[in-house]
Amino acid sequence: MNLKQNQMEVGKLNKLFYQMKNSFSWFGSRRNRKDLAAGLLFLLPSIIIFAVFVYYALGFNIYLSFTSWNFLSPVKKFIGLTNFERLFTDPRFWKIMLNTTYYAVGTIVSSLTLGLIFALLLNQKIPGRGLFRTIIFSPYVTTTAAVAVLWIWMFDPSYGLINSGLSWFGITGPRWLTDVNWAMPALLIMNTWRQSGYAMVIFLGGLTNISREYYEAAQLDGANRFKSFLYITLPLLSPTIFFLIVTSLLGAFQVFDQVAVMTQGGPVDATKVINYAIYTEAFVSFRAGYSAAISTVLFIILLTVTIIQMRLSKRWVHYQ
């Protein structure tokens, strides 16, 4: 038995050796070297842009987070971890983090749930489904600033469409964007309206990839629609759900336009999120080092959350 195992190991090593040899011989040929050089030449503009605007920008931001600088002084004073110490002992920072987390979780749950409902309905053969898909998806391709201006009018306490509609039922609507308790829910409502169409389109793509044979087999076994959805549709949509959670979470943690146009972080920091805090610290208070420290923390949070999601996805994401 040992002899046979040794022979198998030797065979594997020989195979690996020949694979490496073939790889080096491919690289060593003149034609392949020219092809490789041509490929790198075509990629060079993208590599330069990526290196300057991603890696250099990230490195410079991390460097700035250890300095005190106001954009005007030619000297960037190195202060070590002072910015981070101040950041983590500032109660306003934790309030901003809570706001950002609340916004991210709320918008992901609401937009993905509504998008899935729309996708399930518009995946059926109903009249005018193409028109309905276009109407639901159209807010996503509209610029965020334009959508925000529209919803400022919608949320107007005196003349807005929402409070006017509530008044028909005898309900006095709140002062949405100037009320501490309602400003963040107002942003969530607006973003859900905008993002659910995108989620719907992605879910529709996932639904079309599920074979009808699964549902036919489930019907033969006596499964109703709810059980088919629970045990067939949801598990086979798990890669789509995972993709939407990752991309939506990254986008939600970097929200800026809606806040800047609709609330400017108010009232009383009720809607101030981390990206808007980065902007105000840098370009309103001119504390570039402190703003860079917040940016670095945001980068670490997004990187950590993404790694955790990738690890956890192995437990619940099922590929066909």
pLDDT digit string (tens) for 56-76?
999 999 999 999 999 888 889
pLDDT category at 37 given cuts 50, 70, 90 is confident
pLDDT category at 52 given cuts 50, 70, 90 is confident
CB 305 within 8 A of CB 100: no
Q: Rounded mean pLDDT of 125-150?
A: 91
Query: Is the full-model pTM beyond 0.75?
Result: yes
Which own/partner pairs from 69-73 qualify as long-range (CB within 8 Å, at least 24 positions apart)?
Answer: 69/288, 69/289, 70/286, 70/287, 70/288, 71/282, 71/286, 71/288, 72/286
pLDDT above 70 coverage of the chain, percent:
90
pLDDT category at 1 given cuts 50, 70, 90 is very low
pLDDT category at 211 given cuts 50, 70, 90 is confident
Residue 3: pLDDT over 60? no
